[in-house]
Amino acid sequence: MTDWKEECGVFGVYSTARNVAELTYHGLFALQHRGQESCGIAVTDGAWMDVSRGMGLVNEVFRHQIPFMEGQKIAIGHVRYSTTGSSLMANTQPLLVNYAGGKIALAHNGNLTNAAAIRRDLEEQGTIFQTSIDSEVFVNLIARSRKDTIEEKILDSLKKIRGAYCLTIMTEDKLIGVRDPQGFRPLCIGKSSGEFGEAFVVASESCALDVVDAEFVRDVEPGEMVIIDGNGLKSVKFATGEKRAACIFEYIYFARPDSVIDGQSVHNARFMMGRMLAKESGFRGDIVISVPDSGNTAASGFACEAGIPYVDGLMKNRYIGRTFIQPTQKQRKTAVKMKLNPIRASVAGKSVIIVDDSIVRGTTSGKIVKMLRNAGAKSVHMCISSPPITHPCYYGIDTSVRKELIAATKSVEEIREFIGADSLHFLSLEGLKKCTGAIDPEDMCYACFNGGYPVANENADKYVFEQQKC
Ligand code: AMP
């Protein structure tokens, strides 16, 4: 399996009535799919600020206790995959720093495309960095800004930064949410009132609002900063007129189907991709099965469009995390087997259409085709609900290097041969663009499929900071 990892999830809550640390724990739990390497929660009561972080899943790190302090009123949280920097304790978030203006905690989802240059400049001026993640440049820029208020300091810092960022920032008395001018990654606002007490929530995905009984209010707009404090919510637009570039891969694979991002239901987009794939491929077989769980929604769309029964063909072991969490190639290889097992009774003697969301290096598909054949499938037709991935992502999805992407060097027919399927079909880019109806297709980023990068990458690679330090 691959090193292809998505970035992170962020969460923040402001409430004088509810236990914000506990709400953050629940919010992070709902965002666990966005990162399983490490997580953390930072809390403040208005004077004191504390952070608790660790390696592992949310329920592992906070098995025994959720950070708690009397009178707590703001908390932010983070779940992480390593898109920049290694999977190390030092790189866990939220970051918490003391500076001349007080304390701030910060959690970042995304990937900055000019962090290396900013860091070099800051280091030349004597700044010491304690992590190897790009997110640390934010706190240093904020701390060094000569502006008066925290809002101005953040805006001052953002002027220097390019790339993908959704932030939750906490001061002793404010919760701040920021979304980059292109809106690469999702960020939404929720609010709860009534029997549970008032709370404002900022989260990567709307599924994290549901779990804390917060009503969806709206998305944070690209280029917007929202400030929540005792006076309610205030909005500052710091970038207007920039071309939007929301990540299409959130809809294809990453976000949870029960989330709605920028007005578009993830489930509906994914279902539509499956329908479109059935139309385009024209494949017909005895059954449609999915690669669980990421292929489920598209597979059901495919089956619905083609009028072919959708059955369970692969059993997923629910107790294993996403296979990509395994850090070495050897661990990843055994992980596919540990994770998936064919249901012989479903597939034996059948012409099987199998739907997955993407092929990255081709490792997973090849193994699955083999499994299905061993289980007696008559023929295996692989249908992928996204186009071939030919270019790495610089905005938060860890595609490692281009030469590892199978579609960067092989044709569809060569990939088919490599994975051993009887046939292979990818959704076309044109077809994909028709699947997110609530959003103008021109407002999305498709760089991993066509190399059309909306913001130039100025960094070398994800270990750039570690290499500098060696
Ligand atoms: P590969 O085996 O390298 O071709 O990877 C394809 C599999 O990876 C598919 O089953 C996808 O669901 C899954 N996948 C796609 N994108 C990601 C990602 N960013 N992180 C983890 N898994 C992914």
Cα–Cα–Cα angle for 426, 430, 435, nearest 5°?
85
Q: In b/e form, how buried is each residue of 173-202, taking b as 16+ CB within 10 angstroms?
A: ebbbbbbbbbbbbbbbbbbbeeeeeebbbb
The whole-angstrom separation of Cα 336 and Cα 416 is 19
H runs (alpha helix) in 394-433 = 406-409, 412-419, 429-433
State in Å: Cα 287 to ligand 1 middle.
23
SS3 168: strand
Q: Is residue 8 annotated as a catalytic residue, yes or no?
A: yes
Residue 398 CA: nearest ligand 1 atom is 19
Q: What is the mean pLDDT of residues 156-185?
A: 98
Q: What is the pLDDT of residues 22-41, one digit of tens each?
A: 999 999 999 999 998 899 99
Give the binding-site residues of ligand 1, using a 6 Å CB cut-off: 1-2, 4-6, 253, 291, 294, 322, 324, 356-365, 397
pLDDT confidence tier of residue 83, bands split at 50, 70 and 90: low
Give residue 88's pLDDT: 80
The whole-angstrom separation of Cα 27 and Cα 181 is 25
The pTM assigned to this predicted structure is: 0.94
The whole-angstrom separation of Cα 250 and Cα 290 is 19
Residue 2 CA: nearest ligand 1 atom is 3
State in Å: Cα 451 to ligand 1 middle.
19
Structure tokens at 423: 């046939």
Q: Output the residue whose Cα is nearest ligand 1's atom 6.
A: 359
Distance of CA 276 to the CA centre of its chain: 24
State in Å: Cα 381 to ligand 1 middle.
18
- The residue annotated as part of the active site, out of 8, 207, 393, 435, is 8
In terms of Cα–Cα distance, which of 140, 259, 162, 197 is closest to 13?
197
The whole-angstrom separation of Cα 415 and Cα 34 is 28
Angle between helices 266-281 and 296-306 (to 10 degrees): 50
Cβ neighbours, 10 Å, residue 420: 17
SS3 291: coil
Distance of CA 96 to the CA centre of its chain: 22
State in Å: Cα 139 to ligand 1 middle.
32
Q: What is the pLDDT of residues 96-146, one digit of tens each?
A: 999 998 999 999 999 999 999 999 999 999 999 999 888 999 999 999 999
Which residue among 3, 314, 324, 449 is best mutated to probe the pocket of ligand 1, counting the most ligand atoms within 8 A of its Cβ? Answer: 324
